[in-house]
Chain A
Amino acid sequence: MATLKELSKQQELLSGGHRLCAGCGIPPIVRLVLRAANGPVVATTSTGCLEVGTTIYPYTAWRIPWIHSAFENAAATISGIESAYRSLKKQGRLPGGDKDVKFVAFGGDGGTYDIGIQALSGALERGHNFLYVCYDNGAYMNTGIQRSSATPMLSNTTTSPAGKVIPGKQQWRKDLTRIVAAHNIPYAAQASPHNWSDLSKKAEKAMQVNGPAFMNVMSPCPLGWYTKSEDSIKWAKLSVDTCYWPLYEIEDGVLKITYKPKEKKPLAEWLKPQGRFKHLFKPENAHLLEEFQKRVDMEWQRLLDLDGKRL
């Protein structure tokens, strides 16, 4: 893997000057993933912040071939591109001559956990050679912070508002990484942009495997989390240190936790700075906070039990 110094000298495949928010987690994720291709790479993006923020015509931030077509179909779109590649390669008709090309689909949690899960499941089952990266910021941020099936429980969103009767989202988030892994693909992982080295290693592995690979990446969102732009990487790190967002990978069916915090931080340390959880810190909601902590503890223990095991 490249050192940080080497990485800093590589040309960015996603240029600066895009319109994503200051403090958005998506650009560092995309840049690190694309660098891991280490050669020609073609990407698609589902409708969402990344698409809107990088392309407003006549500008584009993409220095690679890139397509956006709709919301629910990034995995189907990349299936078509990758199949075209295999077809033209075997016929000796690739534009510019024979070469090895990597294929990446990016989607937010709405475009992946929710509306895009059918297309994703289909593409994984068919075994296309591609990497799907979900940037999970925990809600439909592009349309104004509506809950998705990735939204943390009790989160205040515009469609799961913390109201007088119902205190935010009532459901635990969908465990998409495990759902994807159940397709028995060669590689699936969770990562976070604060740990660039772990994310880069995973992206490199994901690019190297023959067949579908998947990465679910924590993506801080100052707009939807009601946090300060300059603190995003700090809150990404705390999501991992509190074990809300464990870093692990499932390689050829074997689960491995890639980072275990020396000291597991209380969940409240991650929740408190975020405006979306403000209501949990009212005295009358202490039990909700406790319930949330218990669930995180249970999920973390479940993962520890699986560490090093073949699923």
Chain B
Amino acid sequence: MAITATKGQVGLTGNAAVAYAMKQVNPDVFPAYPITPSTAIVEDFSSYVADGEVTTELITVESEHSAMSACIGASAAGARVMTATSSQGLALMWEMLYIASGMRLPIVLADVNRALSAPINIHCDHSDSMGARDSGWIQLYAETVQEAYDNTFMAVRIAEHAKVRLPAMVCFDGFITSHAIENISLLEDQEIQDFVGAYKAENPMLDTDNPVTYGAMTLPDAYIDFKYQQSQAMMRAKDAAVEVMKDFGKRFGREYGLFDTYRLEDADTAIVILNSAAGTTKVAIDELRKQGKKVGLLRPRLFRPFPWQEMVEALKNVKAVAVLDRADSMNAFGGPLFNEVRSALYDLDQRPKIFGRTYGLGGRDYKVKDAVAVFEELSRVVETGKVETLLKYITL
């Protein structure tokens, strides 16, 4: 897609913006496989390769499993590597996601959030990336096209951070964000190159004078120690993310944090929700605020690692919280976001009341009225001091 990079506003879909961000990063290797709704990313990137706008080697693999396998091979060889996928594609990569993180390879993947089969459905929910939440990948979520574009650069820096060295996933909503055109501000190629810096591989296999072995069989005398180191790296990823986001804000004037809040400071009740549905929720908040209701929002941006201490700090004065999940853990105990937020709040002496709602699976619309209804439920909880219904589906 021919885009002229200017500092002015450009109307782009989420996919076009993320593909353009990847072009500006100019990775060394890009294994590509098409799947709705992320296909346009690999199409656009293929055009950048065909037109000689990048020095990247494109590998048009025969499956997503091979896409992530090729990412691992290329990254271990010493290349900066990026790819994109959705839904079943991410599910097919599942085995390899754990190997990428276990080998500490800073691969960056754009996941355009889409529901998982069955029944087959191409529309938005977060089942795919939530299914990969324990795979050892850093996960960044985005509300808008601008944020998806910006997160792509930040993901590179966080993943490659010397204290982290873990792969990172940039998640944004299928169709709602991937196919909707928004006016966004692009950065200059040189600004991006200065921000991400030259890639420094650790122990590259292509250094044939200093041979290294990757992926040795590891027995009980060593396995847990490797996993401990990986776990520590994920703990350090939070500070690295803060550092990278601050630097991004300083350079480009767009401020990002571990999560986004909206009118939360004095709120009595709040919704915690990921990605594009936060925009809809903000509209509901503005309407309710006009009626004098103290309502607010917290939208996690960094979901892996989970910045629980900071979230507790932000939510501790709220009287009741609703956590809305666009994925079901199928555990008969609520979605993943609900469970983690609820667990994070446990140690507070005065805990907010909390309930979980599952919404919008497979692209079902989440409307302003749905958010308003959740806030009404929250205010009843505040009035009665009781959570009548801990968990349920909405938008049915």
Give the nearest-CB partner of A75 in chain B. Answer: B66
| Other-chain contact of B62, A59, A60, A86, A125 (Cβ < 8 Å) | A125
Q: Contact check, A79 vs B59: say whether CB atoms are below 8 A apart.
A: yes
Q: Contact check, B219 vs A56: say whether CB atoms are below 8 A apart.
A: yes
Instruction: Name A62-105 residues within 8 Å CB distance of B.
Output: 62-70, 72-73, 75-81, 83-88, 90-91, 94-96, 99, 101
Given contacts A70-B69, A76-B69, A95-B204, contact A81 B76 (CB under 8 A): yes
| A51-B218 Cα distance, complex, nearest whole Å | 11
Q: Contact check, A66 vs B73: say whether CB atoms are below 8 A apart.
A: no
B336 at the interface (CB under 8 A from A): no
Contacts of A94 in B (CB 8 A): 206
Given contacts A70-B69, A76-B66, A122-B63, contact A84 B78 (CB under 8 A): yes
Q: Contact check, B205 vs A83: say whether CB atoms are below 8 A apart.
A: no
| A59-B55 Cα distance, complex, nearest whole Å | 37
Shortest Cβ gap from A288 to chain B (Å): 39
| A55-B222 Cα distance, complex, nearest whole Å | 13
| A66-B205 Cα distance, complex, nearest whole Å | 7
Q: Contact check, A118 vs B215: say whether CB atoms are below 8 A apart.
A: no
Contacts of B70 in A (CB 8 A): 76-77, 79-80, 83
Q: Contact check, A67 vs B217: say whether CB atoms are below 8 A apart.
A: no
Given contacts A70-B96, A83-B70, A87-B28, contact A122 B215 (CB under 8 A): no
Given contacts A90-B55, A122-B62, contact A69 B215 (CB under 8 A): yes
Contacts of A86 in B (CB 8 A): 57
Instruction: Name B35-64 residues within 8 Å CB distance of A.
Output: 55-57, 59-63
| Other-chain contact of A122, B66, B76, B96, B103 (Cβ < 8 Å) | B66
Given contacts A51-B217, A65-B211, A87-B57, contact A80 B69 (CB under 8 A): yes
A40 at the interface (CB under 8 A from B): yes
Q: Contact check, B76 vs A119: say whether CB atoms are below 8 A apart.
A: no
**Most-contacted residue by chain A among B69, B95, B209, B212 (CB, 10 A):** B69
Shortest Cβ gap from A55 to chain B (Å): 4
Q: Contact check, B208 vs A119: say whether CB atoms are below 8 A apart.
A: no
B16 at the interface (CB under 8 A from A): no
Given contacts A62-B213, A79-B66, A87-B79, contact A70 B95 (CB under 8 A): yes
How many contacting A-B pairs (Cβ < 8 A)? 178
| A72-B96 Cα distance, complex, nearest whole Å | 11
A17 at the interface (CB under 8 A from B): no
B25 at the interface (CB under 8 A from A): no
A139 at the interface (CB under 8 A from B): no
Contacts of A55 in B (CB 8 A): 213, 215-217
B322 at the interface (CB under 8 A from A): no
B320 at the interface (CB under 8 A from A): no
A58 at the interface (CB under 8 A from B): yes
The 0/1 profile, CB within 8 Å of A marked 1, for residues 205-247 of chain B is 1111111111111110010000000000000000000000000
B382 at the interface (CB under 8 A from A): no
Given contacts A69-B96, A73-B96, contact A81 B69 (CB under 8 A): no
Instruction: Name B178-220 residues within 8 Å CB distance of A.
Output: 201, 204-219
| A140-B227 Cα distance, complex, nearest whole Å | 29
Shortest Cβ gap from A37 to chain B (Å): 10
A200 at the interface (CB under 8 A from B): no
| A65-B262 Cα distance, complex, nearest whole Å | 51
Q: Contact check, B65 vs A80: say whether CB atoms are below 8 A apart.
A: no
Contacts of B28 in A (CB 8 A): 84, 87-88, 91
A184 at the interface (CB under 8 A from B): no
Q: Contact check, A58 vs B222: say whether CB atoms are below 8 A apart.
A: yes
Q: Contact check, A81 vs B216: say whether CB atoms are below 8 A apart.
A: no
Contacts of B394 in A (CB 8 A): none
Contacts of B78 in A (CB 8 A): 84, 88, 95
Shortest Cβ gap from A56 to chain B (Å): 5
Given contacts A64-B208, A118-B63, contact A83 B217 (CB under 8 A): no
B74 at the interface (CB under 8 A from A): yes
Q: Contact check, B77 vs A96: say whether CB atoms are below 8 A apart.
A: no
Shortest Cβ gap from B206 to chain A (Å): 5
Given contacts A51-B217, A67-B76, A81-B77, contact A57 B208 (CB under 8 A): no
| A90-B79 Cα distance, complex, nearest whole Å | 13
A221 at the interface (CB under 8 A from B): no
Q: Contact check, B213 vs A126: say whether CB atoms are below 8 A apart.
A: no
A121 at the interface (CB under 8 A from B): yes
| A121-B63 Cα distance, complex, nearest whole Å | 11
**Most-contacted residue by chain A among B55, B57, B95, B96 (CB, 10 A):** B57
A52 at the interface (CB under 8 A from B): yes
Q: Contact check, A69 vs B63: say whether CB atoms are below 8 A apart.
A: no
Q: Contact check, A65 vs B73: say whether CB atoms are below 8 A apart.
A: no
Q: Contact check, A65 vs B96: say whether CB atoms are below 8 A apart.
A: no
A44 at the interface (CB under 8 A from B): yes
| Other-chain contact of A57, B103, B212, B219 (Cβ < 8 Å) | B219
Q: Contact check, A52 vs B208: say whether CB atoms are below 8 A apart.
A: no
| Other-chain contact of B56, A41, A75, A87, A101 (Cβ < 8 Å) | A87
| Other-chain contact of A42, B66, B201, B206, B210 (Cβ < 8 Å) | B206
Q: Contact check, B207 vs A52: say whether CB atoms are below 8 A apart.
A: no
Contacts of A56 in B (CB 8 A): 216-219
Q: Contact check, B215 vs A67: say whether CB atoms are below 8 A apart.
A: yes
Q: Contact check, A81 vs B73: say whether CB atoms are below 8 A apart.
A: yes
Q: Contact check, B55 vs A87: say whether CB atoms are below 8 A apart.
A: yes
| A301-B75 Cα distance, complex, nearest whole Å | 47
**Most-contacted residue by chain B among A52, A65, A84, A101 (CB, 10 A):** A84
Shortest Cβ gap from A49 to chain B (Å): 11
| Other-chain contact of B61, A42, A69, A78, A79 (Cβ < 8 Å) | A79
Q: Kindly list 11 other residue pairs between chains A and B, CB separation below 8 angstroms, not including A52-B217, A67-B76, A68-B217.
A: A57-B219, A66-B211, A67-B73, A68-B216, A69-B96, A70-B95, A80-B59, A80-B79, A118-B62, A119-B62, A119-B66
Residue positions of A touching B, CB distance < 8 A? 40-42, 44, 51-52, 55-60, 62-70, 72-73, 75-81, 83-88, 90-91, 94-96, 99, 101, 118-119, 121-122, 125-126
Q: Please name the 7 residue pairs, one residue from A and one from B, whose CB atoms are nearest each other, closest first.
A: A80-B73, A122-B62, A80-B70, A76-B66, A84-B77, A76-B69, A73-B69
Q: List 7 A-B contacts (CB under 8 A).
A: A56-B216, A56-B218, A79-B59, A80-B79, A83-B57, A87-B55, A95-B201
